[in-house]
Amino acid sequence: MLDAAFMCRWMSVTAAAVDREAARLTDLDSAIGDADHGANLRRGFTTVTEVLTKETPDTPGAVLALAGRQLISTVGGASGPLYGTLLRRAGKALGDATEVDRERLAEALGAGVAAVAQLGGAAAGDKTMLDALLPAVEALGASFAAAAEAADAGALATVPLRARKGRASYLGERSVGHQDPGATSAALLMGALAEAAA
Ligand code: ADP
Ligand code: MG
Ligand code: MG
């Protein structure tokens, strides 16, 4: 069963992964965006872990909701409100249960991903974080490892796509041939979830 401590671990493993991969995320964003994705997420997840060590909420839902609020308030770029919405909505969907199982987390993240799609107006194939998040949340019904693999595959599959949302869409055809930074960070988030569960 997954409790508040598990969700804190997920967030700190994510922060470590984002820290380690920040330069790569920024490189990807320099090709089709404004070269700040690594710095944006590093700032956001660093604050998330700082806040969670100071005050650890006692339910998994409250941990995700708090993490989401932190991302919204500390990340200036598009990814802050989007990831913030993902976690806040998922946290809300978990309610005040003190422990949840993987299936329940998959459902909650499904609600979070739907909220991201609504906020950003993007759909599958638009070359955004959703291209990693949608297949990952679907696969989370099977296992944590399957979700991480689906996110990686989804991120890789953004390379040939033409961006239809976000800054990369300003490039039109020139966005083709580059991996989407947000889909890449979404794969880090799902990889961290699998690592936290292992
Ligand atoms: P910004 O583009 O404001 O600099 P970031 O660089 O932090 O923000 O994040 C860019 C990423 O955000 C993109 O690679 C993409 O995955 C994601 N993104 C941007 N706009 C949208 C949207 N409307 N819907 C979903 N994801 C989006
Ligand atoms: Mg950017
Ligand atoms: Mg920016």
pLDDT tens-place string over residues 41-87: 999 999 999 999 998 899 999 999 999 999 999 998 999 999 999 99
Q: Which tokens hold the place of 36?
A: 């700040």
Nearest of 105, 181, 161, 159 to residue 137 by alpha carbon: 105
pLDDT tens-place string over residues 128-146: 999 999 999 999 999 999 9
pTM score, two decimals?
Answer: 0.98
Handedness of CA 181, 2, 91, 75 (dihedral sign): negative
Q: Which tokens hold the place of 88?
A: 């806040």
Ligand 1 is surrounded, with C-beta below 6 A, by 29, 33-34, 36-37, 40, 77-79, 82, 120-122, 128-130, 165-167, 180-183
Find out whether 82 and 129 touch, Cβ atoms under 8 Å: yes
User: Which neighbouring-strand residues pair with 2?
Assistant: 100
The CATH class of the 4-197 domain is mainly alpha
